[in-house]
Chain A
Amino acid sequence: MSLIGTAAQPLRVAIIGAGPAGFYAAERLFKETELVIEVDMFDRLPTPFGLVRNGVAPDHQKIKSVTAAFDRIANNPRFRFFGNVELGRDLSLDDFKANYHQILFSTGAQTDRPLGIPGDELIGSHPATEFVAWYNGHPDFRDCQFDLTQERVAVIGVGNVAIDVARILCRTQEELMKTDIADYALEALSKSQVKEVYILGRRGPAQAAFTAPEAKELGEMADCDTLVPPAEAELDPLSLASMASADRADVRKVEIIQELSHRQPTGKAKRLTLRFLVSPTELIGDEAGHVKQMKLVHNELYATDAGSLRSRSTDRTETLDVGLVFRSIGYRGVPLPGVPFNDSWGVIPNDAGRVIDMQTKEPVCGLYTAGWIKRGPTGVIGTNKPDAAETVESMLEDARNGDLLAPAHATSESAAAFVLERQPELVTYADWKQLDAMELNKGKEQGRPRVKFTRIEDMLAALRE
């Protein structure tokens, strides 16, 4: 039995990444009654909440309200937030090891999966991850440029992120005004010339990754007709057979898609077309290197050995005129300096949340992981709760067994002093609550839910005042 986890020597935990996984992990740690635990949570941004702030679509304000539940966790006196502190920039893994008994990585999936077709790199071809971060006001992406003078846009992939991107492109100014979309994005989108948006799925409606409520919402926009080519909405015999064992939500999703396929354009300003069984094979550029067209091949489905339906190309092709392309085929985790990484899946290799060495498969003492960087970029906010709970179980078991790091400095004061020395402009939770109040106030003045700070300098300057 170790003596760590007592009032005299609390168990000191660093959580790196202040998204849902990090908060759920902190919550679960604080539920532990036998051990005294102190949590310091770090984020490279001055603002907490990860993708809830920078990913979740601005027109989905209701879901963004989950942050109030995270506030409650942050109110615990044994919780501290060190924003604007990045692992790899301000602190190294060894720095963390010198100050904490356990370190949890919940850094999410910071980049996109590449598509790898010719023309991918043309001007006007972007990963959806960048557009999402841009319209949400992520400081690293606020200066991205998207050519919204283009009338025709393609979004590749049919996950919920593709739906978000298409919806934001098709919303009216009035609809966007009611959101906390970044100021500059609101302005840029108000001048948008976009009239025609295509969402391109390589398989059929029954295999679309988006969920039913998101599909339904597409058909309910103020000034956008949402259509599906009837031939592409129809299910092939294999998909039809698979529906027999599909769950209700998937059946509902197909019904919604088929309902959309019966609609006719009603003369709204924009048109969104959901397409199925097509794969982009090449982007074609003009003389200046801007995307002007996309080559598509039509697909058919076949069953794999294990019964999954996959697409393969037929000899039917077509060319689509588009001046702007968003690739929305999934996110991807990035390696953290000094931390094992499984490059095949883009995750930190782990066993029930314990980080394991790639070669020996043995746990690395004191290191843990949760959320998208642990299991890959799938699942909704709540999925991170049982995921983080699993990791915390492993952490508590190790703590009880004394399998901990041996930090040279293990007090909250020494850690704070150390971090402050490395990053004098760190942002505390109290600082964040001030920024939050300012954002909400500014929103109130403009009749919007919130007006975000989108520059780190602006946040730091506002806090100095």
Chain B
Amino acid sequence: MKVRNILATKKGQLATIGPDEPVRRAIAMLAASRIGALLVTDEAGALVGILSERDIVRSAASDENLFDRPVGEIMTREVIVGMPQDDVIAVAHTMLERRFRHLPIMDEGKLIGIISIGDVLKTQRDAYRGEVDTLETMIIAEGEE
């Protein structure tokens, strides 16, 4: 199973924000679209960072005036990026090992999506369920014969 198989099941909407926008706006976007991270892109659309719920909580713990600060100040700059051809199982391992929950996906230099640890684990769960459901269908079929 590849990352592209996950992307194929997603709406393909990219939630992006500029680094100069206030954190307030980022929080509103996260809440409205019920997601856990925003991609931070410059005017040219290039990825400059990622802003996750965790980044916000971490900053909020030491700064009560967080809301008006620019996203660029609190985002994570060193972003690990995936590709559509990456194996889901390897990506799952990396995300768990290195403790990050969102992976932006680039293809030929272009940002094309983002997947979450939830997506990754769901894919793995679905694969196991598929095996079980095949067996179950075979058992039902045997009962019919």
Contact = CB atoms under 8 A, between A and B. Distances in A.
B134 A380 contact: yes
B63 interface: no
B134 A381 contact: yes
Contacts of A246: 89
Given A382-B132, A383-B130, A62 B81 contact: no
B91 A383 contact: no
Contacts of B85: 308, 310
B11 A356 contact: yes
B141 to A, nearest CB: 4
Contacts of A356: 11
Contacts of A342: 8, 12
Contacts of A305: 80-82
Contacts of B112: 344
Contact of A65 (B1, B83, B129, B141): B141
A123 to B, nearest CB: 31
A382 B129 contact: yes
A386 B136 CA distance: 12
Nearest to A62: B138
B53 to A, nearest CB: 21
A242 B5 CA distance: 21
B129 A383 contact: yes
Given A65-B145, A381-B134, A382-B135, A308 B8 contact: no
A382 B130 contact: yes
Given A349-B12, A361-B13, A376 B81 contact: no
Contacts of A247: 89
A139 to B, nearest CB: 25
Report the contact-size class of chain A (Cβ under 8 Å from the partner). 35 or more
Interface residues of B, number: 42
A8 interface: no
Contacts of B82: 304-306, 308
A345 B133 contact: no
A375 B5 CA distance: 7
A192 interface: no
B91 A306 contact: yes
A378 B1 contact: yes
Interface in B75-107: 80-83, 85-87, 89-91, 93-94, 97, 103
Contacts of B126: 379, 383, 386-387
Given A63-B138, A66-B137, A307-B93, A376 B5 contact: yes
B93 A379 contact: no
A359 to B, nearest CB: 11
A308 B137 contact: no
Given A66-B138, A347-B8, A376-B5, A383 B127 contact: yes
B64 interface: no
A345 B93 CA distance: 24
A250 B127 CA distance: 13
B43 interface: no
Contacts of B135: 382
A382 B134 contact: yes
A130 to B, nearest CB: 23
B9 interface: yes
Given A349-B12, A375-B9, A382-B135, A309 B145 contact: no
Given A307-B91, A309-B87, A385-B133, A69 B140 contact: yes
B101 to A, nearest CB: 13
Contacts of B129: 382-383, 385-386
Contacts of A7: none
Given A207-B87, A380-B131, A375 B137 contact: no
Contacts of B12: 342, 349, 361
Interface in B1-58: 1, 3-5, 7-9, 11-13
Nearest to B129: A386
A69 B130 contact: no
A68 interface: yes
Interface in A330-375: 342, 344-347, 349-351, 356, 361, 374-375
28 contacts: A66-B137, A68-B140, A68-B141, A69-B141, A242-B93, A250-B89, A305-B80, A306-B3, A306-B80, A306-B103, A307-B90, A307-B94, A307-B97, A308-B86, A309-B87, A309-B90, A345-B8, A361-B11, A375-B9, A376-B9, A378-B5, A381-B133, A383-B126, A383-B129, A385-B129, A385-B130, A386-B126, A386-B130
Given A65-B142, A308-B91, 19 more contacts: A63-B134, A68-B145, A72-B140, A246-B89, A247-B89, A304-B82, A304-B86, A305-B80, A307-B90, A307-B91, A307-B97, A308-B85, A308-B86, A308-B90, A344-B7, A346-B8, A376-B4, A382-B135, A382-B136
**A-B interface, 4 closest residue pairs, ranked by CB to CB distance from nearest:** A382-B133, A383-B130, A382-B134, A307-B94
